[in-house]
Amino acid sequence: SDSRVINFGAGPSALPDSVLDEAAKGLLNFKGTGIGIAEISHRSREFVEYLNELESLIRIQLDVPPTHKILFTQGGGTGQFSAVVLNLLARHRLLHPDLPNEGRTLDYVVTGSWSKKAVDEARRLGATVNIAADARKLSGSGKLFQEIPPHDAYTFSPDPVLIYYCENETVDGVQFSHKDSAPSSFPFHLLPKSTLLPLVADYSSSFMSRNIPRLADHAVIFAGAQKNIGPAGLTILIVRQDCIVDVDAAAKLGAIPVPITMSFKALADANSLYNTPSVLPIYIAGLVLQRSKELGGVQYYEELNRRKAQKLYDTLKEGEAKGVFRGKVKEGSGSWMNVVFDVLGEGAEARFLNGAEEQGLKGLKGHR
Ligand code: PMP
């Protein structure tokens, strides 16, 4: 509508007008039940069917194989910083019951402030962390996060509890390439040889924006809905079945007990309805993904996002040549989702932001 601006906010983010119009109808009357979506029982046939449809919209568009379950939970990406540690420590305990705790190493790839936060949480929970690569330690980085590390900068442990990376760093604007051949791709070929790799990826800010390389090789992929597919309050998990373990049996063997709402098994056994889910975000995410499917799915978005990123990076380069802008990320590591740059000159950033607002472009100011 006329009153709406172009919202560049990284998350919560803009949602399509057509989806919001439809959502308004669902708030009054969900699926012809005469009950609004925020009022209807999550155990009703209509809602359970809707949740199953959401599952298949994701499964079809991302081509998720039957080895993996798609689960819905709450607590955001931050909740998963803890949950992946606890569930995969439990799995490791069941696989190697007699190993001392010091022998249970969690490998983290640190490419920005979100993967760093995930490391902090693993350490808070008492885990032994190996930093497999740290982009701030690369020569010429000036201790900043400005590139995806080259393949020779990684050192993985032989049998880690998990191998963690953040596919798109929302604050720092660096993203792994989704092309295997690119120097900034994730180094899948360097990982320990195992068919059941404990590979964990934070896709919070790029979920459904393009395909997920080697999806089937992942143990857990997680994402909050609020960047690309809906309102905050819904967290999506894609979990390989061998990572859905009996956390209580693991606790009896000495693993850290897992709060029930964080247990992948509790969630999976209850088809994501162990307790009351975030019904309204689920509804809106379903509308967004239905629309995405009609437009051509992830392939459509990949093409669209490629063009958008190209245009923006081209403009940035032009501005750099004129001394107007300065990109913060090295070429080849830049995100398609969030582009981080400085506006050069005294007071220029404030003028840029004000000018943008006058044009109806909001949410451009980056992270403080
Ligand atoms: N990971 C990434 C890459 C993010 O961008 C964010 C949110 N900005 C988070 C994790 C944390 O997500 P949440 O706020 O949903 O806990």
Q: What is the pLDDT of residues 8-44, one digit of tens each?
A: 998 899 999 999 999 999 999 999 999 999 999 999 9
For residues 273-298, give the mean pLDDT. 98
Handedness of CA 150, 151, 155, 160 (dihedral sign): positive
Let me know if residue 172 belongs to a domain: yes
Q: Are residues 258 and 113 in the same domain?
A: yes
Q: How many domains does the chain have?
A: 2
Has residue 69 been placed in a domain? yes
Residue 20 lies in a domain: no
Pocket perturbation via mutation, ligand 1, pick of 170, 229, 335, 367 by most ligand atoms within 8 A of CB = 170
What are 245-275's pLDDT values in tens digits? 999 999 999 999 999 999 999 999 999 999 9
The answer to whether position 342 is within a domain reads yes
**Could you tell me the CATH number of the domain that includes residue 66?**
3.40.640.10
pLDDT of residue 1: 60
Q: Band of the pLDDT at 195, cuts 50, 70, 90? A: confident
- Looking at every residue in the chain, the average pLDDT score rounds to 96
**Whether residue 334 sits in one domain with residue 202:** no
Q: Identify whether residues 242 and 273 lie together within a single domain.
A: yes
Ligand 1 pocket check for 160: Cβ under 6 Å: no
Same domain, 166 and 244: yes
Same domain flag for 73 and 159: yes
Ligand 1: atom nearest CA of 224 is: 15
Give tens-digit pLDDT for 39-83: 999 999 999 999 999 999 999 999 999 999 999 999 999 999 999
Expressed in angstroms and rounded, the spacing between residue 264 Cα and the centre of ligand 1 is: 19
Are residues 240 and 335 part of one domain? no
Measure 98 CA to ligand 1 centroid, in angstroms: 35
Among residues 290, 312, 336, the one where a domain terminates is 290
Q: Is the CB of 114 under 6 A from ligand 1?
A: yes
Confidence (pTM): 0.98
Best of 13, 74, 78, 169 for a ligand 1 pocket test (most atoms within 8 Å of beta carbon) = 78
- 302 and 276 part of one domain: no
Rounded to an integer, the average pLDDT of 175-188 is 96
* Domain-embedded: residue 262: yes
* pLDDT given at position 368: 66
Could you tell which of 82, 114, 220 is best to mutate to test the pocket of ligand 1, judged by most ligand atoms within 8 Å of the CB? 114
In-domain check, residue 23? no
Looking at the structure, do residues 306 and 262 belong to the same domain, yes or no? no
Full domain range(s) for residue 225 = 50-290
Q: Is the CB of 165 under 6 A from ligand 1?
A: no
Give residue 308 CA to ligand 1 midpoint distance, Å.
Answer: 23
Name the residue with the closest Cα to ligand 1, atom 2. Answer: 204
Average pLDDT value for residue range 290-299: 98
> What confidence tens digit (pLDDT) does each residue in 211-224 have?
999 999 999 999 99
Distance 224 CA to ligand 1 centre (A): 7
Q: Are residues 179 and 194 in the same domain?
A: yes
Shared-domain flag, residues 119 and 159: yes
pLDDT band at residue 2, thresholds of 50, 70 and 90? confident
- Whether 332 is in a domain gets the answer yes
Kindly state whether residue 1 falls inside one of the protein's structural domains: no
